[in-house]
Amino acid sequence: MNLTNSTAALDGAPVNRLDRLPASDSPADRKAAAPARRPGLFRLVAADLRAKAEWNYGRVAFATLVKVLLTDGTAAMVWYRLMQWARRWRLYPLELLFNRVNSFYCNCVIGRGAEFGPGFVLIHGTGIVINGGVRGGANVKLEHQVTIGAEKRQNPVLGDDVFVGAGAKVIGPVTVGSGARIGANAVVVHDVPERATMVGIPARVVRVRTPEEAGDGGSDARMVVNS
C-alpha cells in the first residue's frame, strides 16, 4: 500500500499521508475506554437500602436491612427505582404505572424524569414532591414533606451527600453543593455552598463544615432535624 502522494505536495516533495493524521488519532486513542455503565436496578435498590440501614441503625447487617424493608418510605424508594428503570428502557406504560402507584399508595410524588444516584434515601416518604427535571447526586437523603420544585421550568441540582430536613423547600435554578444540610422548613431560593448548613425563610448559611467535619455527616444532619 502506497502511503505517499507526490502530487499532493506543493513543492514537488512526496507527502507522507500518515503525517496528515491528527496527533490524537492513534491506535491507542481509538481504543479509549467506553463510558462507565450506569448501575442496574438491583444495584441501585441495594445501595439505597444499605444507605437507609446505615442512617437509621448505624450499621448495615441482615437484621437492619430487614427492618429497613418494613420502615416508612422504603416502598416509595423502590417504586421510584422501578419507575426510573422503566423510563431507561422506554417502557412508558410501566413508567406511568409505577409513578401513579407511588403517588397513590405512598403519597410520594416524584416526577418521571427525576434522577438520583445510588444511596437515595426517603427517611419518611409522606408528602414528598419532586419535579421531573430535578437532578441529584449520590447519597441524597430526604425527610417527609420536602418539596424540590421548578421555577419557570428551571430545576434544582443537588450534589452528593445532601440532606434535606422535614418540610423544607428547594425551589428554582439553584445548586445545592455536596455535603450540604437543609434544615427543617427552610426555603432555599439561592445556591448553597458545599458542606453548608442552611436554616430559615429564606434559607441562610449558619455553618460551613470543614472537609474533616463533613466526614461525620450523619450526626450533623440529625442535629439539624432536631433544631
What's the mean pLDDT in 24-42?
A: 61
Residue 160 pLDDT level (bands cut at 50, 70, 90)? very high
β-strands 187-188, 169-171 pairing: parallel
Q: How many whole angstroms separate alpha carbon 86 and alpha carbon 132?
A: 15
Stated pTM of the model? 0.79
Cis peptide before 35 (omega within 30 of 0): no
Q: Is the Cβ–Cβ distance between 166 and 128 less than 8 Å? A: no
User: How deeply is 153 buried, as exposed, middle or buried, from its count of CB atoms within 10 A (0-12, 13-18, 19+)?
Assistant: exposed
Residue 219 pLDDT level (bands cut at 50, 70, 90)? low
pLDDT for 195 equals 96
Where do the domains of the chain lie, and which CATH numbers do they carry?
A: 41-226 (2.160.10.10)
Contacts of 113 (CB under 8 A, 6+ apart): 87, 132, 133
List, for residues 178-217, the tens digit of each pLDDT value: 999 999 999 999 999 999 999 999 999 999 998 887 776 5
